[in-house]
Amino acid sequence: MDYEVLSGSSANDLKNRSDAKLIATNAFNFSKTYLLNDGSYLVMPLNPFGNSLHTSEKQELDNWISEGYFPSGDEANTFYLENRPQIDNLPAYQEKLKETLFGFVFKDDLTAAKAMDEATIEHIYEILKKKKKIKTFKLHFLVLLGDFIISKDQSGLYHWGKLSNKQLLNPIIKPVIVTNEEEQLYFDLEDSIYGKWGYVGVQAILHALASDMTKKGNEIETLISFA
């Protein structure tokens, strides 16, 4: 390995004592690349607390940028990196993800899966919780619940999208429900299911949406619509 991962404070110390010169700002993640006085390179994220990368190899730096992946070790983007093909191409994987989930929960009896309602969704979550498979089927359940919510929208505006937050070297990317594309409004379903307060049920999530608890994209976020 010809590079080292540095904490925010360590990277800042290195930059300050190395007569660093800013040579590039990367649009991919809003990071900044510095040339140090020993000829090495330091890449620092927008978030001062995020990990940075230090390398003496220009080719290695160019590869990170061209591939759109920085081996920074940040855990905030683990969910996306483990499910990158499915999240990047969600419309193509939606039905397969749900079928896999139904197969696990209902086995050969898919009658309940065909009549999807709130009670069935809550039952599915309880089965996953009981069998300690919440993490295994995280994306599957998120897609199931998201599709159900979108189907209940009477405005016709709701659809799937992908949010890219560029505060770390690897942008934090997650599937979201776009509630108003023109105004760049979205609902963070992942946070509502797996966030700080845990899963609170379909009704609570629908109430949050009805109460206009949506978020608006900002200058470090990119909202990509799948509609």
User: What are the CA-CA distances from residue 62 to residues 36, 57, 59, 68, 217 (Å)?
Assistant: 16, 9, 5, 10, 29
Q: Are 46 and 166 contacting, i.e. CB atoms less than 8 angstroms apart?
A: yes
What is the pTM (predicted TM-score) of this model?
A: 0.87
Please tell me the predicted confidence (pLDDT) of residue 104: 94
What contacts 172, CB < 8 A, 6 or more positions away?
76, 77, 80, 164, 165
**Cα gap 112→48, rounded to integer Å:** 49
CA distances from 77 to 50, 82, 174 (A): 12, 9, 9
Compute the distance between CA of residue 110 and CA of residue 99 in angstroms, rounded to an integer. Answer: 9
The closest alpha carbon to 190, from 169, 160, 210, 168, belongs to 160
**What residues form DSSP beta bridges with 162?**
175, 224
Task: Tell me the residue type at 10.
Answer: S
| Tens digit of pLDDT at every position of the chain (227 positions) | 689 999 999 999 999 999 999 999 998 899 999 999 999 999 999 999 999 999 999 999 999 999 889 999 888 888 998 999 999 999 999 999 999 999 999 887 767 667 789 999 999 999 999 999 999 999 999 999 999 999 999 888 999 999 999 999 999 999 999 999 988 899 999 998 998 888 889 999 988 887 766 777 788 998 999 97
Sheet containing 52-55: order of strands: 3-6, 52-55, 41-44, 31-35, 21-26
Q: What pLDDT, on a 0 to 100 scale, did the predictor assign at position 2? A: 86
**What per-residue confidence (pLDDT) applies to 107?**
83
* For the chain, the helix, strand and coil percentages under 3-state DSSP, each to the nearest 5: 40, 20, 35
